[in-house]
Structure 1
Amino acid sequence: MSDVYLVKKGIYATLAYAFIMSITSVGAKFAQTQIAVPVLMFWQSVFCVAVLLPQMRGKWQRRPIHVVKAHFLRCLGGFFGFLFYYWALNHIPLVEASLLRSCAPLCVPFVVLIMHRVVIPKARWLPLIIGFVGVALVMKPTPEHFNPWHIVGFMSAVGLACSMVTTRLLSGHVSGQENMIVYFAMSALLSLPLVVLQGESLVLPSGAWLWVLLVSITLYVGMYLYTLAYTYAPASVVSPVSYSGIVFSGLWGLLIWGHVPDAIAIAGIALIFCSIVISAQITRKKA
Structure 2
Amino acid sequence: MSTQTTSSSVLKAIALLIISALLFSLMGVCIRYASHTVDNASIVFFRNFVGLFIFLPLILQRGLGFFKTERLWMHTWRSMVGLVAMYGFFYAIAHLKLSNAMVFTYSSPIFIPLIAWLFLKEKITRSMLIAALIGLLGVLCVAKPDAGLWNQLSFIGLSASFLAAMAFVTVRALTATEPPERIVFYFCSIGTLISMIPMFWHIRPYTWTELSFLIGAGLLANISQLVMSHAYRLAPAGQIGPVNYVAIIFAGLWGYLFWRETPDFYSLIGFALILLAIVVCSPLLQRRLRP
Normalising by structure 1, report the TM-score.
0.80
- Counterpart among 261, 267, 270 of residue 268 in structure 1: 270
Distance of 2:10 and 2:261 partners within structure 1? 34
- Equivalent of residue 141 in structure 1, options 122, 125, 145: 145
> Aligned runs of 1:124-163 on 2, under 5 Å?
124-141=128-145, 146-163=150-167
Instruction: Describe the SS at the equivalent of 1:97.
Output: helix
Residue 88 (structure 2) pairs with residue 78 (structure 1): no
Unaligned runs of at least 5 residues, structure 1: none
Q: How many Å separate the matches in 2 of 1:281 and 1:265?
A: 27
CA distance in 1, matches of 2:227, 2:34: 23
The AA in structure 2 aligned to 1:77 is: V
Count of aligned pairs between the two proteins: 280
Distance in 2, Cα, partners of 1:93 & 1:34: 17
Partner of 1:61: 68
In the superposition, relative to structure 1, how do residues 30 and 145 fare at CA in structure 2: closer, same or farther (>3 Å)? closer
Q: Which amino acid aligns with 2:226?
A: Y
Q: Structure 2: which amino acid aligns with 1:42? A: F
Task: Find the aligned partners of 1:143 and 1:252 in 2 and give their Cα distance.
Answer: 22
1:253 to 248, 252, 255: 255
CA distance in 2, matches of 1:185, 1:276: 33
Contact 2:110 2:242 in 1 (8 A): no
Structure 2: stretches of 5+ with no match in the other structure:
none
Deviates more, 1:213-222 or 1:159-168: 213-222
Contact 2:51 2:222 in 1 (8 A): yes
1:144-183 matched pairs, under 5 angstroms: 146-183=150-187
Contact 1:18 1:245 in 2 (8 A): yes
Secondary structure at 1:59 match in 2:
helix
User: Secondary structure, in 3 states, of the residue corresponding to 2:37?
Assistant: coil
Q: Give 1:260 shift.
A: 1.2
What does the per-residue CA deviation read over 1:108-136, in whole Å, with 9 as the maximum and x for residues that have no partner?
13324554688966665444333333333
**What is the match of residue 41 of structure 2?**
38
* Deviation of 1:233 (Å): 7.5
Structure 2 distance, partners of 1:49, 1:187, is 10
Aligned to 1:88: 92
* Cα 1:19–1:89 shift into 2, 3 Å: same
Task: Tell me the SS of whatever aligns to 1:33.
Answer: coil
Does the C-alpha gap of structure 1 residues 192 and 136 become closer, same or farther in structure 2, counting only changes over 3 Å?
same
1:19-74 Cα shifts (integer Å, max 9, x gaps)? 322221100110111211221121221121122144242323351xxx23321221
Deviates more, 1:155-164 or 1:15-24: 15-24
Bigger shift: 73-82 or 139-148?
139-148
Corresponding position of 2:190: 186
Residue in structure 1 matching 2:224, options 209, 214, 222: 222
Q: What is the CA–CA distance in structure 1 between the aligned matches of 2:168 and 2:78, rounded to whole Å?
A: 8
Deviation per CA, 1:173-226, whole angstroms, max 9, x where unpaired? 222111111101111122133335xx3115433431111121122223323333
Could you say what the CA RMSD is over the residues aligned between the two structures, in angstroms?
3.5
2:186 alignment partner AA: V
